[in-house]
Amino acid sequence: DVKVTQSSRYLVKRTGEKVFLECVQDMDHENMFWYRQDPGLGLRLIYFSYDVKMKEKGDIPEGYSVSREKKERFSLILESASTNQTSMYLCASSSLYADTQYFGPGTRLTVL
Amino acid sequence: AQSVTQLGSHVSVSEGALVLLRCNYSSSVPPYLFWYVQYPNQGLQLLLKYTSAATLVKGINGFEAEFKKSETSFHLTKPSAHMSDAAEYFCAVSTGKLIFGQGTTLQVKP
């Protein structure tokens, strides 16, 4: 079974803090994704990566950056957290030419 | 541009009743279509996917969906709802990356 894990299920941070969300997959997948999920808006793609050290902006990259130093790990970084970044963050992975994405359990981030 | 519209943000059915969750898509090329389910406090789990092999797709937990090109629809159905089906359901289209609908919360009443 594909397993995608995220470092925290719940996280509370203060405005202005630097926040790291970590995601690890164990299926040797080339593609990894970060989404945020908000009520009524579904999932929106923040960034994705199709190889180590490669990254592409998704639909809502502003205020976020990513890092992929190893194939199995994809990090989402909030350089200076703001209250409007309070959300559920979901990580996913897929193999290079496959459309099916496998999701982690999510991190619910609250920025106070 | 591709898009997905899920009709109805909340659907409520009685246990044992038919479940029908609606999804319409727009795509300029033949799409791959997906339904994902999200149980409370969990990530998304793939229910089923359409990849042009057959228009009626069977998924897990008794769900199925029918691709209708003429209607640009991919509605999800289950003949008899169970309490454990209560969750949020997302339709998605892929022509390179996944585009998700807004989600539909399914409530199952005893």
Mean pLDDT, chain B cut into blocks of 10 residues (110 residues total): 90 97 86 92 91 87 93 96 96 86 95
Spell out which residues of chain A touch residue B25, defining contact as CB-CB under 8 Å.
none
State mean pLDDT over A21-31: 95
Tell me whether B17 touches chain A (CB under 8 Å): no
Per the document, the length of chain B is 110
Percent of chain A with pLDDT over 90: 87
- Per-residue pLDDT, averaged over A40-59, amounts to 92
Looking at the complex, report in whole angstroms how far the Cα of residue B46 sits from the nearest Cα belonging to chain A.
8
Question: Which pLDDT tens digit goes with each residue over A58-81?
Answer: 999 999 999 999 999 999 999 999
pLDDT given for residue B16 in this prediction = 97
Instruction: Compare all CA atoms of chain A with the CA of B33 and give the residue at the minimum distance.
Output: A99
SS3 A35: strand
What are the distances in angstroms from CA A23 to CA A6, A58, A85, A100, A107? Answer: 5, 17, 18, 18, 10
Residues 6+ apart with CB under 8 A from A91: A4, A6, A21, A23, A25, A32, A33, A34, A35, A74, A76, A103, A104
pLDDT for the residue A64 = 97
> In this complex, is the C-beta atom of A63 within 8 Å of any C-beta atom belonging to chain B?
no
CA–CA gap between residue A4 and residue A24 (Å, rounded): 6
Q: Is the pLDDT of residue A1 over 80?
A: no
pLDDT of residue A2: 67
Query: Is B49 in contact with A104 (Cβ distance < 8 A)?
Result: no
| End-to-end CA separation in angstroms for chain A | 37
By C-alpha distance, the chain A residue nearest B48 is A100
